Structures are given as structure tokens and as C-alpha cells.
């Protein structure tokens, strides 16, 4: 694409709205700070990276107070359950009366009642513009029985009715061919 045909600059509000169309689980990353205290931050940008080695990625704003504690530190990715709306609000800055319950499980603090928890050691950090991209190697995990808490278009949601259930793991195997789009 030549410079003459490049698109006009994106409207930040429109981009934010487009990003909001992607429903995601709600995760809180927790770590032990250099001062020995536990810290946590809401992270809606979470993705599984690799099964071998077991890698997971989180992304958080550079201005986040938690960002400085994740440079080379072990951390936990707490995938919140639908029953943890109060915890999500707490880490989004709307702290209620109750403090989140947590415990040290290994080397990092983890929240109590998660749908799943991934404990990670630092793998690598990457530049992500106004965010940092943190990849961790999953060292241990816990999977609960609760449905996850979801976030879509600026609101929290519960799971709805499944449209299709695939238990063979085939969604994660990847396509064997790249499918052409036919006009």
C-alpha cells in the first residue's frame, strides 16, 4: 500500500468501541512486590500462547502501578468466576467494603474462589505501545468448577447458553490449511 492510499488516522473512541466487541474473561494478575506486599491489577487482555512450553500472556497499561512489579517477577493469572463481581470491581477501582480474600499459594498471592488460576514465572516482557506485554511460563494451575466472569461492551456478564460443545480440543489444534475467501 503506497503512502498516498493509507487510511486516515483512527478515531480513538471508535477503536475502543471496536475492541469492546470482543468478549473476554476477566482476569486479575497478582504478584508479590519488592516490598513484600501482594499487588493485583485487572487485566482483560489475557491469552494462551503455547502448550509446549506452557506460556500465557497478559497485557497491561504502562501507567498501571502493577506494571513495575511484573518486571521479571513471578505472578498469578486469576481467572475470575461469575461469583467474583465484587473482586472485579475492587480491582477496577470501585473498592467495596470487603477486601478480596487471597492466600500465598507457592511464590505468589492468589485470589480465593477463581474459575481457574495459573501461576507463572517470568518468561519475557515486550513493548506494546502504551501497554507492556508480559509472557509467563505456567508452573502450576488450579481449575475450579465455577463459570467464568465475562466482560463485553463495558459491562460484566455471566455465561449464556452454549451454541456448540467440542470436548475433543480440536478448536486449539489449529487449521491444517489456510481457507481461501471466495467472493
Identify the segments of the chain with pLDDT beneath 50: 1-3, 5
Instruction: Tell me, yes or no, whether 104 lies in a domain.
Output: yes
Instruction: Tell me, yes or no, whether 173 lies in a domain.
Output: no
Instruction: Tell me, yes or no, whether 11 lies in a domain.
Output: no
SS3 string, 46-72, reads EEEEECCCCEEEEEEECCCCCHHHHCC
Instruction: Tell me, yes or no, whether 5 lies in a domain.
Output: no
Report pLDDT for 114: 97
Instruction: Tell me, yes or no, whether 62 lies in a domain.
Output: yes
Interior angle at CA 76, CA 138 and CA 103, nearest 5:
130
Cell numbers given for 3:
503512502
Q: What is the CATH number of the domain that holds 70?
A: 2.30.110.10
Domain that holds residue 107: 24-159
Distance of CA 50 to CAs 53, 58, 82, 177, Å? 6, 13, 26, 20
Report pLDDT for 113: 95
Report pLDDT for 29: 95
Instruction: Tell me, yes or no, whether 1 lies in a domain.
Output: no
Report pLDDT for 174: 63
Report pLDDT for 1: 42
Report pLDDT for 18: 73
Instruction: Tell me, yes or no, whether 174 lies in a domain.
Output: no
Instruction: Tell me, yes or no, whether 45 lies in a domain.
Output: yes
- Structural domain total, the chain: 1
Report pLDDT for 106: 72
Amino acid at each position: 500500500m503506497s503512502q498516498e492510499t493509507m487510511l486516515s488516522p483512527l478515531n480513538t473512541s471508535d477503536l475502543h468501541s471496536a475492541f469492546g466487541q470482543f468478549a473476554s474473561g476477566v482476569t486479575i494478575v497478582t504478584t508479590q512486590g519488592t516490598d513484600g506486599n501482594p499487588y493485583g491489577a485487572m487485566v482483560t487482555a489475557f491469552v494462551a500462547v503455547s502448550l509446549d512450553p506452557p506460556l500465557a500472556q497478559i497485557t497491561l497499561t504502562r501507567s498501571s502501578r502493577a506494571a513495575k512489579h511484573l518486571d521479571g517477577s513471578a505472578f498469578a493469572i486469576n481467572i475470575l468466576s461469575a461469583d467474583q463481581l465484587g473482586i472485579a470491581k475492587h480491582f477496577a477501582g470501585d473498592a467495596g467494603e470487603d477486601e478480596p480474600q487471597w492466600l500465598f499459594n507457592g511464590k505468589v498471592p492468589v485470589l480465593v474462589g477463581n474459575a481457574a488460576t495459573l501461576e507463572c514465572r517470568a518468561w519475557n516482557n515486550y513493548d506494546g505501545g502504551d501497554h507492556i506485554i508480559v509472557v509467563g511460563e505456567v508452573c502450576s494451575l488450579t481449575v475450579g468448577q465455577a463459570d467464568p466472569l465475562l466482560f463485553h461492551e463495558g459491562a460484566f456478564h455471566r455465561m449464556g447458553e452454549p451454541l456448540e460443545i467440542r470436548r475433543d480440543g480440536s478448536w486449539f489444534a489449529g487449521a491444517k490449511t489456510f481457507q481461501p475467501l471466495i467472493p
